[in-house]
Structure 1
Amino acid sequence: MPEQPSATLPPRSVLDAFGVRGIPEPLTGGQGRSVRVGGAVLKPAEGTEGESEWAASVFERLPRGAGFRVPRPLRSAGGDAVVEGWTAAEFTDGRPGPSRQWPGVVATGRAFHAALRELPRPTFLDRRTHPWAVADRVAWGEEEAVVVPELAGPFARLLSLRRPVEATAQIVHGDLTGNVLFAPGQDPVVIDFSPYWRPPLYAEAVIIGDGLLWYEPAPGLLVGGGGDPRWRQMLIRALIFRLVARSGLVGPSWRAGEKEAARFLAATEAVEHGAYKGPARP
């Protein structure tokens, strides 16, 4: 996986606004920007204007006991979910998946998406231009992209395999793979909400695609989607999503030799032929 940047620490004024006390401790995982302070986790607000406030309001309304948990968002005394560019939520302990927890990650995603089914599409999705948003649109044929030379081969192959597919879209978490925490005797915790307007089956395919790309494949990892005939097309889009995002993040001067291309080629062949024949990691 890409190397994580060093975390920036929130200033004292932010801690005071959210009413948290303690010494900031950078957390591993995600993009390496989360910081634990006492019983809270703070991270820079992400996305376009209004996205963090929207996400906090969604988490505040989600039901309890529905097969998953979410960290309770913290607000300032004035009711703001964002203070000086920072958000805060309660700290929830647990061991992150997906290794040895693939069925649990998938099941948690299904329960989470069932709870989001009736949410309307937020307008901020149209304003996002970060690499993951661009890659998502490319995966669904809504935008075109040129990728770095190392990834051009697998990209062209994936595009040749993509076919039209119909499925109902809703709000989904587009990056569940490493963002579900497991603790004995408790429902799993969904963290680092990355909202997209796509079919839940696609979000599930992103989990499995990530497994093929960056983890040792578990037996039967390609078997998913509950037997849905659209499953293969969802996997193809999931791999396009990750490939284009990777290319957009590293930029045109990046050189990774053959390892990264081999990673995507092996995953593409697995989806095309229904069997994994290469290493998930170089």
Structure 2
Amino acid sequence: MIPPAVLRAFGVAAPARPLDGGQGTSWTAGGLVFKPGGGRLHEWLGRVLPGVAADGFRPAPPVRTRDGAWEHDGWSATRWVPGRAPDTASVSAWVEIIRAGRAFHRAVAHLDRPDFIDARQDAWAIADRAAWQERDIALHPQLAPVARRLLAALEPLGPAQVVHGDLTGNVLVATGLAPAVIDISPYWRPPAYAEGVVVADALCWHGAPPSLPETVQVPVAAVARGLLFRMATTSERHAAGAVTEAALRDEARRYARAVAAIGR
């Protein structure tokens, strides 16, 4: 539960309630969303987002405490933005997620590479480097043969810039409003890669049809790179004890179906 002192530090008097989704650690109160942690990413977002022209999407900008800090007792806050998760059983939802991501990536294309990206050593950062052959990792034996089938599909995807590498669960829709893009996970990659991750998620977890890449105009090479990223993440998290054997077998089957769906 969020400590009352944290609410006071951000000038909030209303009681907090937990939010669904994510890692189950977010709370909302007084028009803000509170999460534990933040660090250099949160401070960077607080600096750069005011200079981003939000055309075609709504951001959730970080806010400071009453004394000007970005965190208090390990908690950070952003503005609450109205919206709900789109119905991912519908192809139109994936069209909207991709469209929101493209609007976001156009808006942040001018940003410099954040220096903290290279310092990240979490499972997702390691998996991202592995997907781009910048770091060697030993994929789990149930994943390695499927990953090898993707190598022939890899090709350049364009110049790198700041991208949101986890759009799938972080686009919210609301009637009459542009989609909200929240919980930004920055990577320095081509925008097509971020879109490939979305399509990979759709194929693996949401029953999207094999025609989705063509529908949303995301190249197979981008989906292949996104699948490699997700497989490497599963492998790294399994090695760390965060993914069970049963879950790994299930995910391996899903990845194999997705790889087949893109003709690999």
Q: Do Structure 1 and Structure 2 share a fold, with TM-score over 0.5?
A: yes
How much identity, in percent, do the aligned residues show?
40
Unpaired stretches in structure 2, ≥5 consecutive residues: none
Deviation at 1:79, TM superposition (A): 1.7
Q: Is residue 197–residue 223 contact of structure 2 (8 Å, CA) maintained in 1?
A: yes
2:233 equivalent in structure 1: 245
Say if 2:80 is the partner of 1:91. Answer: yes
Q: Is residue 113–residue 200 contact of structure 1 (8 Å, CA) maintained in 2?
A: yes
For 1:226 and 1:247, the matched residues in 2 are separated by 29
Unpaired stretches in structure 1, ≥5 consecutive residues: 1-8, 274-282
The Cα offsets for residues 102-144 of structure 1, whole Å up to 9 and x where unpaired, read as: 1111111001000000000011011000011011101111001
Superposed counterparts of 1:46-125, under 5 Å? 46=38, 49-64=39-54, 66-97=55-86, 99=88, 100=90, 101-125=93-117
**1:175 counterpart SS class:** coil
Deviation at 1:62, TM superposition (A): 2.2
Deviation at 1:162, TM superposition (A): 4.7
Deviation at 1:42, TM superposition (A): 0.3
Deviation at 1:29, TM superposition (A): 1.4
Deviation at 1:26, TM superposition (A): 1.8
Deviation at 1:45, TM superposition (A): 2.3
TM-score (norm 1): 0.85
2:161 equivalent in structure 1: 170
Correspondent of 1:261 among 249, 252, 256? 252
For 1:251 and 1:34, the matched residues in 2 are separated by 27
For 1:134 and 1:219, the matched residues in 2 are separated by 28
Counterparts in 2 of 1:97 and 1:250: CA distance versus 1, 3 Å? farther
Q: CA RMSD in A?
A: 2.0
For 1:142 and 1:108, the matched residues in 2 are separated by 29
For 1:219 and 1:155, the matched residues in 2 are separated by 18
For 2:169 and 2:182, the matched residues in 1 are separated by 9
Deviation at 1:50, TM superposition (A): 1.9
1:142 equivalent in structure 2: 134
Deviation at 1:198, TM superposition (A): 0.3
Corresponding letter in the other structure for 2:5? S
**2:143 counterpart SS class:** helix
Q: How many residues are matched?
A: 258
Deviation at 1:155, TM superposition (A): 2.6
For 2:87 and 2:234, the matched residues in 1 are separated by 20
Deviation at 1:145, TM superposition (A): 0.9
Q: Is residue 95–residue 216 contact of structure 2 (8 Å, CA) maintained in 1?
A: no
Q: Is residue 136–residue 241 contact of structure 1 (8 Å, CA) maintained in 2?
A: yes
Say if 2:228 is the partner of 1:236. Answer: no
Correspondent of 1:213 among 204, 209, 218? 204
